[in-house]
Amino acid sequence: MMKKLIAGNWKMNGNRTMVRTLISEVVNALDAEQRILDRADIAVFPPALYLSDVRHTLYGFPVISFGMQDISEYEDGAYTGDISASMAADAACTYVILGHSERRQYHGETNEKVKLKAELLLAEDITPIICVGETESEREMGNALKVVGEQLESCIPVIKNNYRDIVVAYEPVWAIGTGKTALPEDIRVMHQFIREKLEDKVPDASKVRILYGGSMKPENAAEILHIQNVDGGLIGGASLKTDTFLAIAREA
């Protein structure tokens, strides 16, 4: 049975004290509740400045993976403010989030850039978490599957070896940070659709983890995480507090 992946995207939140405290609390809880780790892999995505704090706090307790919220499309050079895939590898990142709707909306991220970044990460043996999802107007017009299908076609590199090389996160844009959550049947249909589309891209699509993101919280985690083809969650606000993050992880 494939473990769920419970991933906390902290976005641009926190400070050094908060990071060290939260990680310490989560590690202590996981040490006391081995059952969680039997059923789920846990990962956190702090602001890049705090990666070293996460790594330092986890020293000797490798129960949580960590990664970045984005990387550069360039390998190196005069790109002020950018962080490359090789730098992410040097920082011991396991995952990197790509194509989040906030990156698409505020930073002009395109499907083509997401694919390029994914290829750079795979070359460094880092797993990209590739985000896809439709806007509210696209869903209302009946175009949700079409939009996500086009994103998958353009974003996913062709994988020739290991199915674990990628993770896909379905995040309906209208549900991110709004408190709205997609209906269970809509989630089921979309995740099944994503699974079918992946069959053209990866050797064993049945073993690619497909996460759901979009206002997942303790109150709805059990229902969502037990929908067919939901292999975990990409958690935003609820991952910033130890109790809510762990409450979601317990439902895996």
Cα–Cα distance measured from residue 13 to residue 221, given in angstroms and rounded to the nearest whole number? 22
Question: 73, 134, 171, 251: which is the annotated catalytic residue?
Answer: 171
Residues in Cβ contact with 252 at an 8 Å cutoff, skipping those fewer than 6 apart: 3, 4, 6, 36, 39, 40, 225, 232
Cα–Cα distance measured from residue 189 to residue 215, given in angstroms and rounded to the nearest whole number? 18
**What is the SS3 assignment for 77?**
coil
**What is the SS3 assignment for 93?**
coil
Nearest partner of 118 among 95, 102, 101, 134, judged by Cα: 95
100 is catalytic: yes
Tell me 239's DSSP state: G
Q: Is 62 exposed, middle or buried (0-12, 13-18, 19+ CB in 10 A)?
A: exposed
171 is catalytic: yes
Question: 73, 100, 191, 251: which is the annotated catalytic residue?
Answer: 100
Catalytic machinery residues: 100, 171
